């Protein structure tokens, strides 16, 4: 493992609870800058919970809390002085099911920038074009920006959601199984897009598709449930290492399809 | 396993039996549809036939004439109904939407539970009781009946209908939409207004239409609060007010503080009078009432259809 890579985020002995239930147990994991980190593992192993704690989306679940710490550029995102809104501006998120808002394509993209007080039309126009280009959607929609985002195909909707997420120039992009609701061709386009995006953003992606993790990611974290049904990190390494010479027997069993 | 399971079975008989049962059940559902639709069509056609005769322009723009005389209209009732339903809507709809959002987020808190429970109770209170309550609260202290009091009791009737339907519709909005907005750093308030409300708008408007239709048709609570007024005419009040240099507030006060008539009130009063002209007019009022509800419904549907066409290009 290359230790000299710049660290963007880091979890330290992170445990996530829903009320009394421990969903994630003691995960310590680095997220390297401008790399794609994939989190894989069988259903219910806490990979989505881990991802959603990275921009404090779990705060929305009543009764959820954490132990341990999550650092963004060396600072805890749970510090008293840190505004959750700022965490979410710097750490964007793309969801499993495409979720365009019930408004035009244009308004979907500028929704974020407007939240932070950007009002000038010329600036917003520019953000719309650059974000849609960044999400490889510009050519498809440049003539129908006033149309509803809900009228697009599933794959286009997901790219619109990526455009919406990068419109506020986040530093980290979290993706929660972003292609699992899409057909194979749309999936391929999202995967190509992820390769483009990592030049500007640090990406963490949850997937239960191992081939996808092998194709798109630089680092892979493999998680599993322990006896108390809490998700634990089994192994973290460079993706080729995880998929060719894993150190843990459980990782090898999983990637060779013996369970999961 | 037997060699040939079906050799012993008279299959054509089984199939014939199935066709028979299918036909019988299908006929039964057809009869049920007819039983449900016939009374509805009957009412509409009957009211049309009885009411058409008295409907002309005068009916809409003139105040009632003295009892027993020919002619005159029910503009007082039409205007009164519009004013009171407007008052009710302005009060009830925003309040109900806020309450629905509260229920969406805080249904499990004690206040949320109390709100839900009292909403259900309020929906079950007979409207005449709400009228009596309105009389004690909005009429007695001011010592006179008014459009405002009428509007307030109609608001109380609309509230539970809009709250529960809006809550149901908001619950149907996928949770990913809310999370998507919050993940961009939006507040719950901004998310509710810009994302959840538009996503649920169609269903909410249907609920509002139902509530409006109910409010327009209510008679009993208005007996206690609006009373009736054969001289109620908003245009006269505005004309007089402008002529005597009254302020907007004074004119508005006149419109809202006078005893007021309403279509169902007029219907009820006219129908039991001994003058055939008035009885005929009560059918006309019934027709106008029906058309008003119909118009509201068609209007809302047309607006929604246009909105949908626009967004899906």
Q: For A33-90, what is each residue's pLDDT tens digit?
A: 999 999 999 988 999 999 999 999 999 888 999 999 999 999 999 998 999 999 999 9
Shortest CB distance from A85 goes to which of B174, B185, B311? B185
Shortest CB distance from B185 goes to which of A89, A148, A150? A89
Q: Provide mean pLDDT across the span B268-273.
A: 93
CB contacts < 8 Å between A and B, how many?
78
What pLDDT score was predicted for residue B301?
86
CA max distance for chain B: 103
Quote the percentage of chain B above a pLDDT of 70: 98
Tokens of B237: 């009040």
CA A110 distance to own-chain centroid? 20
Distance, CA of B56 to CA of B52 (rounded, Å): 9
What pLDDT score was predicted for residue B186?
94
CA B58 distance to own-chain centroid? 26
Distance, CA of B2 to CA of A162 (rounded, Å): 61
Inter-chain residue contact A95 with B195, CB threshold 8 Å: no
pLDDT of residue B72 exceeding 90, the answer is: no
Q: What are the φ/ψ torsions at residue B169 (nearest 5 degrees)?
A: -65, -40
- Residue B172, chain A, CB below 8 Å: the answer is no
Going by pLDDT thresholds of 50, 70 and 90, the confidence category of residue B2 is low
Distance, CA of B159 to CA of B96 (rounded, Å): 6
Q: Are A190 and A105 in contact (CB under 8 A)?
A: no
Residue of B nearest to A98 (CA): B176
| DSSP label of B192 | I
Q: For B8-24, what is each residue's pLDDT tens digit?
A: 888 999 999 999 999 99
Residue of A nearest to B180 (CA): A99
- Residue B180, chain A, CB below 8 Å: the answer is yes
Q: Are B183 and A89 in contact (CB under 8 A)?
A: no
- Residue B176, chain A, CB below 8 Å: the answer is yes
Distance, CA of A25 to CA of B262 (rounded, Å): 67
Q: Provide mean pLDDT across the span B58-70.
A: 86
List of residues 6+ apart from A195 with CB closer than 8 A: A36, A216
| Cβ contacts of A89 on chain B, cutoff 8 Å | 184-185
List of residues 6+ apart from A164 with CB closer than 8 A: A100, A108, A109, A111, A112, A131, B180, B184
What pLDDT score was predicted for residue B236?
93
Residue carrying structure tokens 């429970």: B117
What pLDDT score was predicted for residue A5?
86
What pLDDT score was predicted for residue A21?
93
What pLDDT score was predicted for residue A257?
85
Shortest CB distance from B176 goes to which of A89, A99, A148? A99
List of residues 6+ apart from B141 with CB closer than 8 A: none
Q: For B232-248, what is each residue's pLDDT tens digit?
A: 999 999 999 999 999 99
Measured between alpha carbons, how far is residue A206 from residues A106, A176, A248, B21, B185 in Å?
A: 28, 5, 20, 53, 21
Q: Please tell me which residue, B66 or B85, carries the higher pLDDT value.
A: B85
Q: For B158-186, what is each residue's pLDDT tens digit?
A: 999 999 999 999 999 999 999 999 999 99
Q: Provide mean pLDDT across the span B68-72.
A: 80
Half-sphere exposure of B234 (CA within 13 A, CB side): 16
What pLDDT score was predicted for residue B5?
83
Tokens of B282: 């009560």
Going by pLDDT thresholds of 50, 70 and 90, the confidence category of residue B306 is confident
Inter-chain residue contact B199 with A102, CB threshold 8 Å: yes
Taking the CB of residue A226, how many other CB atoms lie within 10 A of it?
Answer: 14
Shortest CB distance from B184 goes to which of A60, A88, A148? A88
Q: Provide mean pLDDT across the span B91-96.
A: 97
Q: Please tell me which residue, B66 or B271, carries the higher pLDDT value.
A: B271
Distance, CA of B305 to CA of B296 (rounded, Å): 14
Burial A88-105 (b: 16+ CB within 10 A, else e): bbbbbbbbbbbbbbbbbb
What pLDDT score was predicted for residue B305?
85
Residue carrying structure tokens 């894993």: A246
Burial class (CB in 10 A: 0-12, 13-18, 19+), B140: exposed
Architecture, CATH, for domain A7-255 = 3-Layer(aba) Sandwich (3.40)
| Cβ contacts of B199 on chain A, cutoff 8 Å | 101-102
Measured between alpha carbons, how far is residue A73 from residues A90, B50, B115, B248 in Å?
A: 11, 79, 45, 61
Q: What is the mean pLDDT of chain B?
A: 92
List of residues 6+ apart from B169 with CB closer than 8 A: B200, B202, B203, B204, B207
Q: What are the φ/ψ torsions at residue B252 (nearest 5 degrees)?
A: -60, -40
User: SS3 sequence, A152-209?
Assistant: CCHHHHHHHHHHHHHCCCCCEEEEECCCCCCCHHHHHHHHHHHHHHCCCCEEEEECCC
Distance, CA of B83 to CA of B77 (rounded, Å): 10
Nearest to A182 by CA among A193, A171, A197: A193
Lowest mean pLDDT among B66-75, B149-158, B206-215: B66-75
Q: For B99-108, what is each residue's pLDDT tens digit?
A: 999 999 898 8
- Residue A57, chain B, CB below 8 Å: the answer is yes
Q: Are A216 and A194 in contact (CB under 8 A)?
A: yes
Inter-chain residue contact B181 with A103, CB threshold 8 Å: no
Q: How far is B253 from chain A (nearest CA, A)?
A: 40
The pTM for the full model equals 0.84
What pLDDT score was predicted for residue B3?
73
Distance, CA of B309 to CA of B313 (rounded, Å): 6
What tens-digit pLDDT sequence spans chain A (260 residues)?
Answer: 455 789 999 999 999 999 999 999 999 999 999 999 999 999 889 999 999 999 999 998 889 999 999 999 999 999 989 999 999 999 999 999 999 999 999 999 999 999 999 999 999 999 999 999 999 999 999 999 999 999 999 999 999 999 999 999 999 999 999 999 889 999 999 999 999 999 999 999 999 889 999 999 999 999 999 998 999 999 999 999 999 999 999 999 999 888 76
Going by pLDDT thresholds of 50, 70 and 90, the confidence category of residue B1 is low
Residues in chain B: 313
Domain ranges of chain A: 7-255
Q: Are A224 and A41 in contact (CB under 8 A)?
A: yes
Inter-chain residue contact A93 with B183, CB threshold 8 Å: yes
Q: Are B277 and B68 in contact (CB under 8 A)?
A: yes
Inter-chain residue contact A102 with B183, CB threshold 8 Å: no
């Amino acid at each position: 493992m290359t230790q000299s890579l710049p660290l963007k985020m880091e979890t330290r002995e992170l445990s996530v609870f829903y009320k009394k239930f421990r969903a994630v147990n003691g995960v310590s994991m680095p997220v390297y800058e401008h790399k794609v980190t994939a989190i894989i593992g069988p259903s219910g192993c806490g990979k989505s919970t881990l991802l959603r704690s990275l921009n404090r989306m779990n705060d929305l679940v009543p009764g959820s809390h954490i132990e341990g710490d999550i650092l963004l550029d060396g600072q805890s995102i749970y510090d008293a002085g840190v505004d959750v809104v700022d965490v979410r501006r710097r750490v964007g998120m793309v969801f499993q099911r495409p979720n365009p808002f019930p408004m035009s394509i244009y308004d979907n993209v500028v929704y974020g920038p407007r939240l932070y007080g950007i009002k000038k039309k010329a600036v917003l126009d520019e953000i719309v074009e650059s974000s849609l280009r960044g999400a490889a959607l510009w050519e498809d929609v440049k003539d129908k920006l006033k149309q509803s985002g809900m009228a697009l195909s599933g794959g286009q909707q997901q790219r619109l959601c990526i455009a919406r997420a990068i419109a506020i120039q986040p530093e980290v992009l979290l993706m929660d199984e972003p292609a699992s609701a899409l057909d194979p061709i749309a999936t391929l386009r999202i995967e190509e897009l992820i390769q483009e995006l990592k030049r500007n953003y640090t990406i963490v992606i949850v997937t239960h598709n191992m081939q996808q993790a092998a194709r798109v990611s630089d680092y892979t974290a493999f998680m599993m449930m322990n006896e108390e049904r809490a998700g634990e990190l089994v192994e973290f390494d460079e993706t080729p290492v995880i998929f060719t010479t894993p150190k843990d027997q459980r990782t090898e069993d999983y990637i060779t399809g013996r369970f999961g | 396993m037997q060699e040939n399971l079906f050799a012993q079975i008279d299959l054509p008989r089984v199939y014939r039996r199935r066709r028979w049962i299918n036909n019988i059940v299908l006929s039964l559902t057809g009869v049920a549809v007819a039983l449900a639709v016939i009374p509805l069509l009957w009412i509409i056609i009957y009211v049309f036939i009885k009411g058409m005769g008295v409907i002309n322009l005068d009916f809409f723009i003139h105040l009632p004439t003295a009892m027993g005389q020919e002619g005159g209209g029910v503009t007082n009732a039409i205007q009164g109904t519009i004013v009171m339903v407007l008052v009710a809507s302005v009060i009830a709809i925003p309040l109900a939407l806020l309450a629905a959002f509260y229920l969406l987020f805080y249904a499990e808190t004690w206040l949320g539970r109390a709100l839900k429970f009292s909403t259900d109770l309020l929906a079950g209170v007979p409207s005449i009781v709400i009228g009596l309550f309105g009389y004690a609260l909005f009429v007695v202290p001011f010592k006179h009946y008014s459009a405002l009091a009428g509007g307030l009791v109609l608001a109380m009737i609309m509230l539970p209908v809009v709250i529960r339907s809006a809550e149901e519709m908001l619950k149907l909005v996928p949770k990913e939409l809310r999370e998507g907005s919050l993940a961009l750093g939006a507040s719950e308030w901004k998310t509710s207004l810009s994302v959840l409300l538009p996503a649920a708008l169609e269903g909410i408007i249907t609920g509002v239409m139902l509530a409006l239709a109910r409010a327009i048709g209510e008679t009993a609570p208005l007996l206690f609060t609006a009373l009736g007024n054969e001289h109620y005419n908003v245009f006269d009040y505005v004309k007089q007010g402008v002529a005597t240099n009254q302020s907007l507030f004074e004119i508005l006060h006149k419109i809202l503080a006078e005893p007021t008539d309403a279509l169902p009130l007029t219907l009820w009063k006219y129908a039991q009078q001994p003058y055939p002209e008035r009885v005929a007019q009560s059918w006309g009022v019934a027709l106008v009432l029906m058309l008003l509800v119909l118009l509201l419904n068609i209007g809302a549907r047309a607006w929604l259809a246009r909105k949908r066409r626009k967004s899906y290009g």
